[in-house]
């Protein structure tokens, strides 16, 4: 991947790339006596607000965990409801995304995604390819371990075919075969709903990400909540293995 060397001063500017593990839709709904799917619907609408806030605050990439490779284990009606919702939200807000020059990318195993969602996603990926203002990455049927295994398969195939020497299998070679190839690593990972785990999200890419956990359920995560997370991020000192004394003054809190 083409990630430039991480800058120790990076936390004094907005994170270039934010990853969001949007969680708590079901509990938000249960607390209000509503069906789980209503929590997912409100959560999907929140995403549009958060994209706007990211653009306004100078963030250039947002990866949102929409559906994990493990979420297939949920009841069938919830799974199908989630995909229907995904298709609806894309259609309902497409013109807004176009107006704001959002580029759409998807990571995850698209072959497992129902065609009525895959097709419009592919269309928008194609039509938004030249947008540079902001990139929305949807992690759909995504799992970091599955991504790593696929990269290992690709490496093994290249080695077996004699295209790659085993001793040339280094981090850049792995990175180039991940689904995020060409994307900058996330600087900030936000997880909502009070859970303190990564649930198979961007495990390798988050090696040096700052992580912010908030107890707020995703359907309540608004612009103000994003600003709180950004303020928390700005307080962090990113050292990337160096000592404090080695950091440029601009990187110190």
Q: Judging by beta carbons within 10 Å of its beta carbon (0-12, 13-18, 19+), is residue 46 exposed, middle or buried?
A: buried
23 is catalytic: yes
The reply to whether 36 sits near Mg ion by the rule CB under 5 A is no
Q: Which two tokens stand for residue 145?
A: 């371990």
The reply to whether 210 sits near ligand IPE by the rule CB under 6 A is no
Residues forming a β-bridge with 212: 190
Q: Which CB atom, from 23 or from 187, has the smaller least distance to Mg ion?
A: 23
Q: Which CB atom, from 8 or from 219, has the smaller least distance to ligand IPE?
A: 219
Q: Which two tokens stand for residue 205?
A: 């890419």
77 is catalytic: no
Which of 101, 197, 227, 244 is in the footprint of ligand IPE by CB under 6 A? 197
Stretch that binds ligand IPE, among 92-100, 116-124, 128-136, 191-199 (CB under 6 A): 191-199
Residue 35 phi, psi (nearest 5): -65, 150
The reply to whether 41 sits near ligand IPE by the rule CB under 6 A is no
Contact 192, 23 (CB under 8 A): yes
Which of 199, 220, 239, 240 is in the footprint of ligand IPE by CB under 6 A? 199
The reply to whether 192 sits near Mg ion by the rule CB under 5 A is no
Among 52, 57, 71, 158, which one carries the catalytic annotation? 71
Q: Residues touching ligand IPE: how many (CB under 6 A)? A: 18
Look at phi and psi of residue 202 and say left if phi exceeds 0, alpha if psi is from -120 to 50, else beta: left
Contact 187, 209 (CB under 8 A): yes
Residues forming a β-bridge with 142: 68
The reply to whether 82 sits near ligand IPE by the rule CB under 6 A is yes
Q: Which does 68 bind (CB under 5 to 8 A by kind): ligand IPE, Mg ion, none?
A: ligand IPE
Instruction: With residue 106 as reference, give the H or E element that holds it.
Output: strand 102-107
Which residues are part of the catalytic machinery?
Answer: 23, 71
């Amino acid at each position: 991947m083409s990630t430039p060397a991480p800058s120790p001063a990076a936390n004094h500017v907005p994170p270039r790339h934010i990853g969001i593990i949007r969680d708590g839709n079901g509990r938000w709904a249960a607390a209000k006596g509503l069906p789980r799917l209503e929590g997912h619907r409100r959560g999907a609408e929140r995403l549009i607000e958060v994209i706007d806030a990211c653009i306004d605050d100078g963030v250039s990439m947002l990866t949102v965990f929409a559906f994990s490779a493990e979420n297939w284990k949920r009841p069938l009606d919830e799974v199908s409801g989630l995909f229907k919702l995904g298709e609806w939200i894309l259609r309902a807000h497409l013109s807004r995304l176009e107006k704001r020059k959002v580029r759409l990318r998807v990571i995850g195993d698209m072959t497992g995604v129902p065609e009525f969602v895959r097709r419009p996603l592919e269309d928008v990926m194609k039509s938004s390819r030249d947008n540079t203002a902001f990139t929305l990455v949807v992690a759909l049927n995504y799992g970091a371990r599955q991504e790593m295994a696929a990269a290992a398969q690709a490496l093994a195939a290249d080695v077996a075919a004699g295209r790659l020497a085993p001793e040339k299998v280094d981090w850049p070679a792995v990175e180039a075969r991940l689904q995020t190839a060409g994307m900058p690593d996330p600087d900030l990972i936000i997880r909502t709903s009070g859970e303190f785990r990564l649930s198979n999200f961007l495990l390798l890419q988050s090696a040096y990400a700052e992580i912010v956990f908030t107890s707020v359920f995703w359907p309540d995560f608004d612009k103000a909540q994003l600003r709180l997370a950004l303020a928390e991020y700005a307080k962090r000192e990113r050292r990337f293995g160096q000592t404090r004394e080695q950091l440029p003054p601009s990187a110190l809190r």
